[in-house]
Amino acid sequence: MPQQTAETSPTPEQVFGRVLQQLRRARRLSQEKLAEESGCHRTYISLLERGRYSPSLTMLFQLAEALDLNPSDLLRQVETALHQPDNSASVTEATS
């Protein structure tokens, strides 16, 4: 997977990871607790948050449910962050 450099924008996986981490922290969940609630391993959450992996559609739904979000709200936050000039992930509180 390409790494971000000064000349390139972050990948969608990297932005997804930042949004996921911010949402998890905003809900005061550990990686371990989010993993438990979404049915995966803690190291998988870590890899997602670091932009090393891209979640499957099924995992996206499971993560959204664990974060008390609609999957579309989770993706919308990633899309918004991708299109921000500085590519910063800013979490908005949306609930299902």
Q: Tell me which of 36 and 94 has the higher pLDDT.
A: 36
Following DSSP, what letter does each residue of the chain receive, concatenated? Answer: -PPP-TTSPPPHHHHHHHHHHHHHHHTT--HHHHHHHHTS-HHHHHHHHTTS----HHHHHHHHHHTT--HHHHHHHHHHHHTSTT----------
Residue 19 has pLDDT above 80, yes or no: yes
Q: What is the mean pLDDT of residues 17-26?
A: 98
**pLDDT number for residue 82:** 94
Q: Hey, what CATH class is 12-82 in? A: mainly alpha
Q: Please give the mean pLDDT across all residues of the chain.
A: 89
Among 92, 89, 50, residue whose Cα is nearest residue 70 = 92
Of 55 and 92, the structure prediction assigns the larger pLDDT to 55
Question: So where are the chain's domains?
Answer: 12-82
pLDDT at 85: 75
pLDDT at 6 over 80: no
